[in-house]
Amino acid sequence: MNDYTTVNANEVITKWPFSEAALGIKANVIREILKISSQPGIINFAGGLPASELFPQTHLNEVSQVVFEKHGAKALQYSLTQGIIELREVLAERISTPDNRYTPDIIQITTGSQQALDLIGRAFINRGDYILTEAPTYLGALGAFNYYGAKYCTVPMDEEGMIVDLAEEQINKYKPRFIYMVPTFQNPSGITMSMKRREALVELARKYQIPIIDDNPYGELRYSGEQVPSLKAMGGNAVISLGTFSKIISPGVRIGWVAACPEVSAMIEKVKQGTDLHSATFTQYLVYEYINAGYLDPHIELIKKAYRKRRDVMLNSMANEFPECVKFTRPEGGLFLWITLPEGVSAANVFDKAIEAGVALVPGKTFYPHEDNDQNFRVNFCHPSEDNIKEGIKRLASVLNKVC
């Protein structure tokens, strides 16, 4: 025994001096839901995961060797906070349109889209500031912005996305810091904002000089319907767009990006530096060489084909098995669709019964900043197999047919 063991190593500081912001973080509801969902025998429509069996393992293994051979120590060393230039060049090219050409200096690489949301919060939010969002909206954004003490003013959605006509009143009343949107194949609703609404929103942002955050993780995953331009393509420098390779290559590489104007990009770089210096150099090169080998676009076609099929299987199963009074969206892309229960039927109740019946989904409440919803569910149609989709919808229908 050493002298220093006179200090009791198991002693705990009586009251850990946690910050008020940290103590204010609410328990993560979805974590509990995912814990329940992963019990054996449960068909899981709850998670936000892409399909594991579609990851391009063989090609990524191949290009990982290219990374070592071609970039060597450079891929293992510290690198720029902005991200490696090779990847930023490719991204600037990919998001450029004939009308808007982008250069690598407006791209900031992030540790997945989630870090982009955190850095946006860090760069823009003072405690008590309002953010204007769609209702429902992406829960990961709420998780990121909540730490910074954000409050929310919300605008409801219909089948064309946010009802922009209702946004101006909110803007005048709450003076939001920015507008946060998932306008394309929205998480959680699956809804895509119409061209007309996009135009109206960009006009509104210009009129009030409020930046729009265009969170666009699913934009490349369109299965049907007509392409609409991204908000970024329409609004130019008034729009800060977020992208990620999580849904089109792999979430485990944790590579996303922010595309903004030089002034905002420089600020995002500045606030990122203190948080992690930079995202993993190695996985940045991995993604770059994967794209460089020409693998990305064919891979996107491959997963689109599989996801389109799963979506159709789910939509058909729902149409055949659900009672008429239960509504659901018919997304043109992305990972999720949205169930609306008839008035008077509680999603919390249905959730418990669904778990008993062996199927998990996420109650809508989680996606509302003010949690004022007990009528909806988010359903992931990309992660489960076609057989599990059929069986899971059968189980869910048996519950719905009893309560509706």
User: Could you say whether residue 9 binds a second copy (CB under 8 A)?
Assistant: yes
Q: What are the distances in angstroms from CA 192 to CA 74, 152, 160, 222?
A: 41, 21, 6, 10
User: Could you say whether residue 140 binds a second copy (CB under 8 A)?
Assistant: yes
Q: Report the candidate in 279, 271, 336, 326 with the shortest Cα–Cα distance to residue 138.
A: 336
Residue 74 Cβ, how far from a second copy at the closest point, in Å? 8
* Ramachandran sector of residue 293 (left: φ over 0; alpha: ψ -120 to 50; beta: rest): alpha
Q: What are the distances in angstroms from CA 364 to CA 46, 137, 192, 218, 368?
A: 11, 10, 18, 20, 7
Residue 314 Cβ, how far from a second copy at the closest point, in Å? 21
User: Could you say whether residue 164 binds a second copy (CB under 8 A)?
Assistant: no
Residues from 57 through 86 that contact a second copy (CB under 8 A)? 57, 60-61, 64-65, 68, 72-79
Count of residues interacting with a second copy (CB under 8 A): 106
Instruction: Identify the residue among 126, 172, 301, 344 touching a second copy (CB under 8 A).
Output: 126
Exposed / middle / buried, residue 403 (Cβ in 10 Å: 0-12, 13-18, 19+): middle
Residues from 299 through 338 that contact a second copy (CB under 8 A)? none
User: Could you say whether residue 364 binds a second copy (CB under 8 A)?
Assistant: no
Amino acid at 373: N
Residue 389 Cβ, how far from a second copy at the closest point, in Å? 19
What are the tokens at 250?
A: 């792999």
User: Could you say whether residue 182 binds a second copy (CB under 8 A)?
Assistant: no
Residue 256 Cβ, how far from a second copy at the closest point, in Å? 9
Instruction: Identify the residue among 274, 301, 324, 343 touching a second copy (CB under 8 A).
Output: 274
User: Could you say whether residue 7 binds a second copy (CB under 8 A)?
Assistant: yes
Residues from 85 through 104 that contact a second copy (CB under 8 A)? 99-100
Residues contacting 360, CB < 8 A, separation 6+? 33, 36, 37, 42, 43, 44, 45, 46, 354
Which ranges in 38-96 belong to alpha helices (H)?
57-66, 85-95
How far apart are alpha carbons 78 and 281 in whole angstroms?
Answer: 7
How far apart are alpha carbons 26 and 240 in whole angstroms?
Answer: 27
Residue 50 Cβ, how far from a second copy at the closest point, in Å? 8
Which of residues 22 and 301 has its CB atom nearest to a second copy in the complex?
A: 22
Stretch that binds a second copy, among 18-26, 317-325, 370-378, 384-392 (CB under 8 A): 18-26
Instruction: Identify the residue among 39, 169, 173, 236 touching a second copy (CB under 8 A).
Output: 236
What are the tokens at 387?
A: 């057989």
Residue 127 Cβ, how far from a second copy at the closest point, in Å? 9
CA-based Rg of the chain, rounded to a whole angstrom? 22
Give the contact letters, 27-46, x = binds to a second copy (CB under 8 A), - = no.
Answer: -x------------------
Residue 359 Cβ, how far from a second copy at the closest point, in Å? 21
How many CB atoms within 10 Å of residue 97?
A: 12
Stretch that binds a second copy, among 20-28, 297-305, 333-341, 355-363 (CB under 8 A): 20-28
